[in-house]
A and B are shown apart, each in its own frame.
Chain A
Amino acid sequence: MLKISNLHVSINNKEIIKGLNLEVKAGEVHAIMGPNGTGKSTLASVIAGREIYEITSGTIFYKGKDIQTMSIEERASEGIFLGFQYPVEIPGVSMTNFMKTAVNEQRKYRGQDPLNSTDFLALMEEKKKLVEIQSNLTNRSVNEGFSGGEKKKNEIFQMAMLDPALAILDETDSGLDIDALRVVANGVVKLRRPDNAFIIITHYQRLLDYIVPDFVHVLFEGRIVKSGRKELAMELEERGYEWLKNGNF
């Protein structure tokens, strides 16, 4: 589904990602861990297509297609979803209206007819139940006045609505209390299928108590320095990132 080869990424001529390789297949859940400032969020943004980052060399192929030829909207409509670390507020735009626009623009891209209001509302109710989100959330403006936890839950709800092939969750678990953390984790567990994949970027091991990843990668100074199974996450938690800084990889 996703194949990243020898990726180098810069922002303002400063190199952040320095030769990264990663392959994600359908049905897999990958966790990417690592200390702050090592390029985890940059990687997520680059896959989604954020324009301030420059790919200086290397390739990203998604569903066999060079991702650099696709716009942000095309990537989204082809099934790439980014759960934001800091979801932005859009005053005055209701979640319902926002999601209806997103769902229908993606349908239009795929050559499908737009959903009418009845069908759309039914879909929304179904997904809200699936990811256990209170119904008043969708009556409010996009992220406006949401608590940190509500914003993150809202990302999971949007993921459920858009049903992506590849979901990248960028530190969706940071700053969450246990209840919110469970909602986020449950969302992933429930949406997980043989034909989709997840990249979960996280700082801590605790989210991985709920979501069992197939692979764990450690990102350090712009490269994946260690990959392994879920046990690697436990080891990291125990030894801390200092262990990496001492060159133990």
Chain B
Amino acid sequence: MDKEPNDIINEVTQGDYKYGFYTDIEMEMAPRGLTEDTIRYISAKKNEPEFLLQWRLKAYHKWLEMTEPTWANIHYPPIGYQSIFYYAAPKQRKELESIDQVDPELVKTFEKLGISLEEQKRLTGVAVDAVIDSVSVKTTFSDTLAKLGIIFCSFSEAVLHHPDLIRQYMGMSVPYDDNFFATLNSAVFSDGSFCYIPKGVRCPIELSTYFRINAANTGQFERTLIIADEGSYVSYMEGCTAPRRDENQLHAAVVEIITMKDAEVKYSTVQNWYPGDKQGKGGVYNFVTKRGICKGNNSKISWTQVETGSAITWKYPSVVLMGDNTIGEFYSVAVTNNYQQADTGSKMIHLGKNTKSTIISKGISAGFSNNSYRGLVRMGKKADNSRNYSQCDSLLLGDKCGAHTFPYLKVENKNSIVEHEATTSKISEDQLFYCNQRGIWNEGAIGLIVNGYAKDVLNKLPMEFAVEAQKLLSISLEGSVG
């Protein structure tokens, strides 16, 4: 009964990572390390057109000249870029006609993760592209979507069947030389999802990509490209898990979104990569570049993320508000526990007139973790009558963790308005006592309080994700008293 607050923290924050299993499937791998040959190997494996190989090589040579960024509030030993496998793919027959042809072990893996690749998935109204290690194994519903003119397939398939779209849009949001990790991705990306919504089409179902790292010592470098043509709409979800391993795994993905006039893309992520064990051993290094361009007037891009995983998260989903009257949104809940580190936030670049952006960031830190919000709001010279509202809240559970806020503002226009609010709070002993007195045990109490704190963001998630995210928050962070 007379427990110290810290005992309670320990007790309730020790929720186990339930996706830590490993599937034994036959893999095809590139030789360890990164050289021009590795890149030629990947490109040849995928029968890529010459322009893409050249793009990769250009990125590779640029990357060789770049240095790893050190400005983020994260600490980790040097990454051995030459000891990573840059390509790992489940061995399987070339063209998959139906689910029956997918390796049963793979199907089982996804079922364990709660993702059914069967066509019955239709009932839940979600189309899934499943990416395991470096390769997309199965995309459901492509046929149904094709009738509406929607292209939803793996990136590799898009390269083969729609090379013009790739050529036109790849690198528009995130250029090949954007930053160290994005440039590495540009050189070695293996697969990912591709989505094109034609003019005036509202995608009737949620599209979803599910990423899974399986093989050991592999980097995962997927690349997602979403193009919403004039007046179209799509809601896109991304989920991720990885096995429990003692060594760190590198994940350096790129997501690009482009919206034309009057189009809207809603991108939701529930990131649950393996966070490492309670001593901070192992876990995924998540260095991701996500950026959208509101290219056409009146278009809108919205990022919603719930981040509970990864040993290190380095991620700033951003929107470039290029067209007039465009809207950018970023809603984030980032949870860190044990020895996790997160440096995450958003960039809103206002270029067009009457553009609006909103940033709502809720950081939750427990254990010995460090959680930083880093955000940039820029009002360009021509961004007349533009507005940004940023709200960054931090919730601390315990007294060994850290929360930091690094807002950057760059205002070059006198007619624009930028607002920034920040708060830091702790779960108070009074709140816990109140819950306990009603018969709610600490675990449930902390789940309630944390979910209440994150409600504004969780409300933005699609239904299919919201329930999962709420549970995830309670599990990964049922913890603690200030």
Q: Does B168 contact A (CB under 8 A)?
A: no
Q: Does B482 contact A (CB under 8 A)?
A: no
With contacts A51-B1, A90-B434, A90-B448 taken as known, whether A76 is within 8 angstroms of B439 at the C-beta atoms is: yes
Q: Is the CB of A73 within 8 A of B453?
A: no
With contacts A51-B2, A90-B431, A92-B456 taken as known, whether A73 is within 8 angstroms of B441 at the C-beta atoms is: yes
- Note all chain A residues with C-beta closer than 8 A to B435: 90, 98, 102
Q: Mark B433-476, 1 if CB is under 8 A from A, else 0.
A: 11111111100100011011111100000000000000000000
- Note all chain B residues with C-beta closer than 8 A to A52: 429
The B interface is mostly helix, strand or loop, or mixed, namely helix
- Note all chain A residues with C-beta closer than 8 A to B433: 50, 72
Q: Smallest distance from the beta carbon of B89 to chain A beta carbons, Å?
A: 44
- Residue in A92, A109, A141 whose beta carbon sits within 8 Å of that of B439 in the complex: A109
- Note all chain B residues with C-beta closer than 8 A to A77: 439
Closest residue of chain B to A71 (Cβ to Cβ) is: B1
- Note all chain A residues with C-beta closer than 8 A to B437: 48-49, 72, 76, 81-82, 84
Q: Is the CB of A105 within 8 A of B431?
A: no
With contacts A50-B433, A51-B1, A88-B430 taken as known, whether A162 is within 8 angstroms of B448 at the C-beta atoms is: no
Q: Is the CB of A73 within 8 A of B436?
A: yes
With contacts A68-B1, A105-B444, A162-B439 taken as known, whether A92 is within 8 angstroms of B434 at the C-beta atoms is: no
Beta-carbon contacts under 8 Å, B273-319 to A: none
Expressed in whole angstroms, the Cα–Cα distance for A105 and B434 within the complex equals: 14
Q: Is the CB of B449 within 8 A of A73?
A: no
Q: For chain A, give the interface size range.
A: 20 to 34
Beta-carbon contacts under 8 Å, B348-390 to A: none
With contacts A49-B1, A84-B434, A102-B440 taken as known, whether A92 is within 8 angstroms of B428 at the C-beta atoms is: no
Expressed in whole angstroms, the Cα–Cα distance for A77 and B439 within the complex equals: 5
- Note all chain A residues with C-beta closer than 8 A to B1: 49, 51, 68-72
Beta-carbon contacts under 8 Å, B160-207 to A: none
- Note all chain B residues with C-beta closer than 8 A to A87: 434
Q: Is the CB of A93 within 8 A of B448?
A: yes
- Note all chain B residues with C-beta closer than 8 A to A106: 439
Expressed in whole angstroms, the Cα–Cα distance for A158 and B437 within the complex equals: 11
- Note all chain A residues with C-beta closer than 8 A to B456: 92
Q: Smallest distance from the beta carbon of B233 to chain A beta carbons, Å?
A: 29
Q: Does A145 contact B (CB under 8 A)?
A: no
Q: Does A97 contact B (CB under 8 A)?
A: yes
Expressed in whole angstroms, the Cα–Cα distance for A70 and B2 within the complex equals: 11
Beta-carbon contacts under 8 Å, B45-95 to A: none
Q: Is the CB of A92 within 8 A of B455?
A: yes
Q: Is the CB of A92 within 8 A of B451?
A: yes
Q: Does A57 contact B (CB under 8 A)?
A: no
- Residue in A51, A84, A91, A101 whose beta carbon sits within 8 Å of that of B444 in the complex: A101
Q: Is the CB of B453 within 8 A of A91?
A: yes
Q: Is the CB of B453 within 8 A of A92?
A: yes
With contacts A68-B1, A71-B1 taken as known, whether A88 is within 8 angstroms of B428 at the C-beta atoms is: yes
- Note all chain A residues with C-beta closer than 8 A to B436: 49, 71-73, 76
Known: A49-B437, A105-B439, A109-B439. 9 other contacts (CB 8 A): A52-B429, A68-B1, A84-B437, A88-B431, A90-B434, A90-B448, A92-B453, A102-B435, A102-B438
Listed A/B pairs (7) with beta-carbon separation below 8 Å: A51-B3, A90-B431, A92-B452, A93-B451, A101-B448, A142-B452, A158-B438
Nearest 9 interchain pairs by C-beta: A92-B452, A93-B452, A92-B455, A76-B439, A102-B438, A106-B439, A72-B436, A88-B430, A77-B439
